């Protein structure tokens, strides 16, 4: 039987509190976000916020193919969200403006 409410536990809250402190209490510290998964559509707001807070953003997994195609790379039959190419380009433009590199895999 499945539980109907979806909630996060105390450990998750503790980890979020720690990360919030690491980001806000140490503005001089270099920070990187590693973002993975398959769909950019699920991660646009998260990545947009990370560009504001991080020194670099590392994109891994199938998510990288949408960014690579937006940059003009040939990705063959790899999973790409065609309707998110514009969003990828906007995130890249924001990152360039803020001098935050978005690092993508090179071995594809």
Q: Please compute the mean of the pLDDT values over residues 9-26 and round it to a whole number.
A: 75
Q: Across residues 27-55, what is the average pLDDT?
A: 87
Question: According to the model, what pLDDT value does residue 2 have?
Answer: 57
Q: What's residue 14's pLDDT?
A: 82
pLDDT at 22 over 80: no
What is residue 38's predicted lDDT score, i.e. its pLDDT? 86
Q: Tell me the C-alpha distance between 3 and 41, whole Å.
A: 26
The predicted model gives 84-105 an average pLDDT of 96
Closest CA to 82 of 65, 96, 94: 65
- Mean residue pLDDT of the chain comes to 86
Q: Which of 103, 107, 14, 16 is nearest to 51 (CA)?
A: 103
Confidence of residue 107 (pLDDT cuts 50, 70, 90): confident
Residue 10 has pLDDT above 60, yes or no: yes
The answer to whether residue 84 scores a pLDDT higher than 90 is: yes
Residue 25 to residues 9, 10, 22, 98, Cα–Cα distance (Å):
24, 22, 6, 20
């Amino acid at each position: 039987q499945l539980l109907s409410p979806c909630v996060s536990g105390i450990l998750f809250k503790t980890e979020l509190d720690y990360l919030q402190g690491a980001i806000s209490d140490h503005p001089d510290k270099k920070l990187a976000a590693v973002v993975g998964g398959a769909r950019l559509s699920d991660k646009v707001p998260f990545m947009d916020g990370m560009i504001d807070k991080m020194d670099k953003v590392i994109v891994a997994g199938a998510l990288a193919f949408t960014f690579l195609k937006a940059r003009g790379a040939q990705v063959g039959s790899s999973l790409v969200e065609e309707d998110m190419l514009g969003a990828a380009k906007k995130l890249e433009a924001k990152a360039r403006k803020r001098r935050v590199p978005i690092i993508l895999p090179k071995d594809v």
